[in-house]
Amino acid sequence: MLHAEPSLPPKASTMGPDTKLMQNSGKTIFKRTSIDHLMNVLVLCIFGFLALMCSVLAIGNGIWEVREGSVFTVFLPREEGVNAALSSFLSFWSYVIILNTVVPISLYVSVEIIRLGNSFYIDWDRKMYYPKNDTPAQARTTTLNEELGQIKYIFSDKTGTLTQNIMTFNKCTINGKAYGELFDFSGQRVEITEKTEKVDFSWNHLADPKFIFHDHKLGETVREGNPEAQDFFRLLALCHTVMPEEKKEGELYYQAQSPDEGALVTAARNFGFVFRSRTPDTIMIMEMGKQVTYDLLAVLDFNNVRKRMSVIVRGPNGRMILYCKGADTIIYERLHPSCNKLMDVTTGHLNEYAGDGLRTLVLAYKDLDESYMEDWKRRHHEASTTMDDREERLDELYEEIEKDLMLLGATAVEDKLQDGVPQTIEQLAKADIKIWVLTGDKQETAENIGYSCNMLREEMKEIFVVAANTAEGVREELQNARRKMCPEAADQPIVKEARAGLFWLQKTVSVEDEKVDGEYALVINGHSLAFGLEKDLQIELLRTACMCQTVICCRVTPLQKAQVVQLVKKYKQAVTLAIGDGANDVSMIKTAHIGVGISGQEGMQAVLSSDFSFAQFRYLQRLLLVHGRWSYLRMCKFLQYFFYKNFTFTFVHFWYAFFCGFSAQTVYDEWFITLYNLVYTALPVLGMSLFDQDVNDRWSFQYPQLYSPGPLNLYFNKKAFVRCMMHSCYSSLVLFFIPWAAMRDTVRDDGKDIADYQSFALLAQTCLLVVMNIQLCLDTHYWTAVNQFFVWGSLAAYFAITFTMYSNGMFFIFTSSFPFIGTARNSLNQPNVWLTIFLTSLLCILPVVAFRFILVQLWPTINDKVRYKLRKEALPAPAPRRAPTRRISTRRSGYAFSHSQGYGALVTSGRFLMKRPVKRQVLFTETDSPLAENQPQHYRTIREEPEEPEQP
């Protein structure tokens, strides 16, 4: 059974996977949207406003009873003990009942219905369905939809989230000659596509059928017997800790410590150097069809300090040779001076590979003398069996023998990006969303993926790297970076304190954003991040990181991921989203305001802890820029309209109180009060909240800047609520006083009096409903048949119900319940009544139209500009997909091994020969599963250690 050398304390290494998962999961957090928190505050304010209105009306009742009420006692004598004070007290509670419609009780029910409908849109979206795995997008919660339209920070894992975690042998350079690229007759580089002819490996019956390579020159060079090329692949076939498994003759399966190693051994296999089997002392390979057995004399294992791995073998001809592969910076220091010219050529190729975001390794070898080797083996045995300073003595021996190496070439392995990742990140950056990558990978790999994903760009003003090993060093590097980005920034952060929550008992502290001219990026390694997350450095880290467009944190533990998210949540008061695919992302997903799980090859732990899930990172673009933005826009429109219609409805009662002696009489018919929110205005506003969209999805992708108002919370906030109240106050004044003035001294065409309470109530409520529907039409940008049906249907239902309830038949059946007999037919057949309705509607709507027209003309928003463009021109066709531009840079992947200690000691010990099939199923994850049918490599990956280091 295979065991990796533990990189954790012994106690932690004995924990099972379930225990580790439970430790990584973090505390469950009850998530609520920022609109929910705002609504709670507003509801408290509304209760206070209701009490204020009722108090004003109660005081008015007391004053009226003292001044005017005594006149009515002649024919309406008061009961004994009843006075103005008691009447005022009773009227207060009467008005609490009448004006309670200002409190949005039905609001919460409507909000949940809207959220449920918008969550179904995500579930039903075919453009977020991944047919390869039969995985649709899934909204696992129905309470966070509008929060998707307010994201400011995205925290993403790398491996399996941005990349496919599938390594492929892409290019190589052998003895100064590069392979892997195709050129036409004029010497121009040819883009490799699915239609490009592949190298035929049919001559090799042991080749992996899933391996794909396009440069035919490399295969021809190897088959012609080129010694450097054959040594190159011989090294790849010998220098590793891969374990082979051959279930059937010729069907090889590789169990690799890392996907990189599996990819390299598979490449050697296809080019004729097939690693077939191993024992603790030998390695058997097939060299161009001939079986050759090498004696394994020593394995100089990989670790994070050495950044290289070597094996010492003896061939059948007695030649002893050391094969070494590792980071270019490490290998170059140990090369023989005669390799300087070849090293310069190879360095140029490595720079090109780094420009393509590939992970590179340099290969070298050294012939060994028999007598020297005997002495070295003796000293190696002594060092490996000593009890004191064993590691130091072994490192000295390794340094001694790994000198004067001869350069063979370099490999370039691609950790394939998921489809559409660069385009998605580019779109999200245009939407002014900041993206932070939190990965357990080494710095070089994370940087390369950053360039490949368009998170890091050469046109950025500067990319800061924080790699200090002391707290003061980290502070100094962060401050230097901040001063370069904003020289005039104050040394101390601008901290704002505020009160929030229930009764403002919760104190919040926020660090304000600082303006930066240009785009910057920050790369910080694990040691520096550990210091930066300490209490005295948190604010400094946050200030510097938030000034950058992109932040990449390397070698991050699962706990540190959650701490970084929590730091931004605590001090930025911004909406955060975390996305990942594995168990090590669970704590981050739970900590963020919104957690997104990707159902990939790492299991379902992330999905089960998430709020939304899908199969590919590229779907995040549609989730935010389309569904999130629409949900936020719809919810804000709904809240503004809901508060407007309820406040307008209630304020008319308030003004009427001054004309009825503050007697708590209702201005509308009781049945209208009952049906107003339940029937007449419920469906139209729901139709708008479920179907409305300012622009369609294609225009949303074309202009991702449309998303920017969401994170700034511009559509609905406390100011918007106050504006809504002022609008309601104006509309209620018009809706009360215009019908009152029109009905005061009016007579019918036949001379009969029409100025009665019942006719005025009918006119006022009809004007109110007409104005509410017109206002809804003004707020609706996207009309559907459902919207039309609801709007016209609500008006038709009002008139049908009104004529029915005010009919003679209903009065005769339920005399006390329907006292408005004949009011509808007597009032609504008068031209002046309809003229009053028209005038009232015009006075309510005309200022709104004029105000919006002036805003659009003088201060148009991005939405206004795009909608204007939408009317003028057709949507342009999607831009052709272009090949990524090559980046010439000195940054390149240093090495492509696993992060943990290598398995060299295990391979030479012989313990791997013990057969324990039950345990083996736990340790190895086969990639020949249905999910990996299209993978170009066919090997297994040892899953003993997690991809990212656990927190002890």
Percent above pLDDT 70 for the chain: 83
Burial label for 136, CB within 10 Å (0-12, 13-18, 19+), is: middle
Q: Which token pair is 28?
A: 């469950």
Q: Does residue 27 surpass a pLDDT of 80?
A: no
Say which residue, 822 or 462, is predicted with more confidence. 462
| Predicted local distance difference test score (pLDDT) of residue 927 | 33
Name the binding residues for Mg(2+): 157, 159, 581, 585
Q: What is the C-alpha separation between 112 and 108, in angstroms, rounded?
A: 6
Calculate mean pLDDT across residues 532-559.
88
Q: How far, CA to CA in Å, does 208 sit from each of 103, 235, 275, 617?
A: 70, 19, 12, 29
Confidence of residue 755 (pLDDT cuts 50, 70, 90): low
| Predicted local distance difference test score (pLDDT) of residue 8 | 34
| Predicted local distance difference test score (pLDDT) of residue 750 | 65
Confidence of residue 570 (pLDDT cuts 50, 70, 90): confident
Name the binding residues for ATP: 157-159, 261, 302, 325, 359, 439-441, 555, 561, 584-585
Q: How are strands ordered across the β-sheet holding 251-256?
A: 243-248, 251-256, 939-942, 924-925
| Predicted local distance difference test score (pLDDT) of residue 125 | 92
| Predicted local distance difference test score (pLDDT) of residue 555 | 82
Confidence of residue 447 (pLDDT cuts 50, 70, 90): confident
| Predicted local distance difference test score (pLDDT) of residue 894 | 45
Q: Does residue 20 surpass a pLDDT of 60?
A: no
Nearest to 594 by CA among 53, 25, 31, 159: 31
Q: What is the C-alpha separation between 902 and 650, in angstroms, rounded?
A: 74
DSSP-derived secondary structure for 358-369 = -EEEEEEEEE--
pLDDT tens digits, 665-687: 888 988 899 899 888 999 999 99
Give the mean pLDDT of the chain. 82
Residue 28, Cβ neighbours under 10 Å: how many? 8
DSSP 8-state class, residue 130 = B
| Predicted local distance difference test score (pLDDT) of residue 910 | 61
Confidence of residue 343 (pLDDT cuts 50, 70, 90): very high
Nearest to 576 by CA among 590, 565, 564, 561: 565
Place of tokens 């004007």: 767
> Which residues have a catalytic role annotated?
157
Say which residue, 605 or 495, is predicted with more confidence. 605
Span of 114-118, 301-305, 410-414, 872-876 with lowest mean pLDDT: 872-876
| Predicted local distance difference test score (pLDDT) of residue 688 | 93
Q: Does residue 116 surpass a pLDDT of 50?
A: yes
Calculate mean pLDDT across residues 709-733.
93
Q: Does residue 649 surpass a pLDDT of 70?
A: yes
Contacts of 779 (CB under 8 A, 6+ apart): 637, 640, 641, 688, 692
Q: What is the C-alpha separation between 579 and 602, in angstroms, rounded?
A: 13
Q: Does residue 880 surpass a pLDDT of 70?
A: no
| Predicted local distance difference test score (pLDDT) of residue 74 | 67
Say which residue, 267 or 896, is predicted with more confidence. 267
| Predicted local distance difference test score (pLDDT) of residue 899 | 43
Asked if residues 522 and 466 have their Cβ atoms less than 8 Å apart, the reply is yes
Calculate mean pLDDT across residues 90-104.
90
Q: Does residue 786 surpass a pLDDT of 90?
A: yes
| Predicted local distance difference test score (pLDDT) of residue 881 | 53
| Predicted local distance difference test score (pLDDT) of residue 503 | 45
Confidence of residue 197 (pLDDT cuts 50, 70, 90): confident
Q: Does residue 527 surpass a pLDDT of 60?
A: yes
Confidence of residue 496 (pLDDT cuts 50, 70, 90): low
| Predicted local distance difference test score (pLDDT) of residue 21 | 42
Q: Which token pair is 13?
A: 């290494």
Confidence of residue 896 (pLDDT cuts 50, 70, 90): very low
Output 494-500 pairs: Cβ under 8 A, ≥24 positions apart. 500/37, 500/41
Q: How many residues does the chain have?
A: 952
| Predicted local distance difference test score (pLDDT) of residue 943 | 36
Say which residue, 12 or 556, is predicted with more confidence. 556
Q: What is the C-alpha separation between 639 and 635, in angstroms, rounded?
A: 6
Calculate mean pLDDT across residues 369-385.
88
